[in-house]
Amino acid sequence: MPLPLLKTVGEVAHLRSTHDLYDLHFHTRHSDGLARTADAIALAKERGVTVAITDHNVIGGALEADDGEVVPGVEVTTAERIHLLIYFRRKADLRHFWDRNIAPYRPAGASALTPVRRSAMDLLQDLQPYDHLTSAAHPFAMAKNGWMSVRTKHGHILESLQDLDAVEALNGEELDGGNERTAALARERGFAVTAGSDGHLLRELGLVALAVPKGEDLFEVVRARTGAVVDLRVDGAWRRVASHAAKAPYFAGAPVRALKSLLP
């Protein structure tokens, strides 16, 4: 792991006096999560964490929060199936970017998980005028990124993305091996790192986080690699089973959404 890793409640409690915690990857019911934005904000406050709302390709959940309540973001599935996490400081910037660079490239009838017709490289170019931060989520997650992209192309794509700020070196849903490969990629290729629960259930919120020294700017700390990574997940397969089960209602609705897309 390129940054210090804290894994016990005691270690994290000690860290809290000097650092703020950010869970940089969380989904609401606007994509395939179960949480309401308001509930995520309330729980984040209770747990002493700032949460980034990063729904798949849609931004309704992030827009429900006021500026300063969450990190407004989006997890864009690019044409090559990179999951590109994009963060902004203000939701007006998120909305402006999404309206111009995501919405027009979503296929008609797209579900939240349908890839947009835009490459990661093009999106990184589109982002240049904005105050933003980017990270490639779980780049070695075969099921999410496509097995071809993971095993053959993905490493090359990441290497070619000069404007990418970071890779997500700790994703709460990813297998340990995938996280380790991402951390190795960061070390070898000089990427900064981010961390997030990738939670789809409220209970996952804040269990994976990036610790940022108090008073310092999140985006700058990521780029300068001066934060620390927090992993408070319990070990075991049940954790992933519970998280994936949370998405079941979303996928159960897929035939209905497909049918609606065929109707006038």
174 binds Fe ion (CB under 5 A): no
| Of 19 and 76, CB closest to Fe ion | 76
Contact 167, 140 (CB under 8 A): no
Give me the least distance between CB of 172 and Fe ion, in Å please: 9
Closer of 75 and 93 to Fe ion (Cβ): 75
Select from 69-77, 91-99, 153-161, 175-183 the region that touches Fe ion (CB under 5 A).
69-77
By DSSP bridging, strand 132-137 and strand 166-171 are parallel
Q: Does residue 198 touch Fe ion according to CB under 5 A?
A: yes
* Residue (of 216, 219, 174, 209) closest to 5 by Cα position: 209
Q: Which of residues 100-139 bind Fe ion (CB under 5 A)?
A: none
Q: Residue count of the chain, please give it.
A: 264
User: Near Fe ion by CB under 5 A, which window of 38-46, 125-133, 195-203, 234-242?
Assistant: 195-203
Which of 183/246 has CB closer to Fe ion? 246
Q: Min. distance of Cβ 10 from Fe ion in angstroms? A: 29
**Residues of this chain, 30-59, that bind Fe ion according to CB under 5 A:** none
User: 134: exposed, middle or buried (C-beta count within 10 Å: 0-12, 13-18, 19+)?
Assistant: buried
Of the ranges 112-120, 192-200, 247-255, 256-264, which one interacts with Fe ion (CB under 5 A)? 192-200
CB 25 to Fe ion: min, Å: 6
CB atoms < 10 A from the CB of 189, how many?
A: 13
- In the bound state with Fe ion, the residue whose beta carbon lies nearer, of 19 and 83, is 83
Beta strands in the chain (DSSP E): 5-6, 19-26, 49-53, 71-77, 83-88, 132-137, 166-171, 192-196, 208-213, 228-231
User: What are 66's two structure tokens?
Assistant: 């006021």
3 state SS of 113:
coil
Contact footprint for Fe ion (CB under 5 A): 75, 198
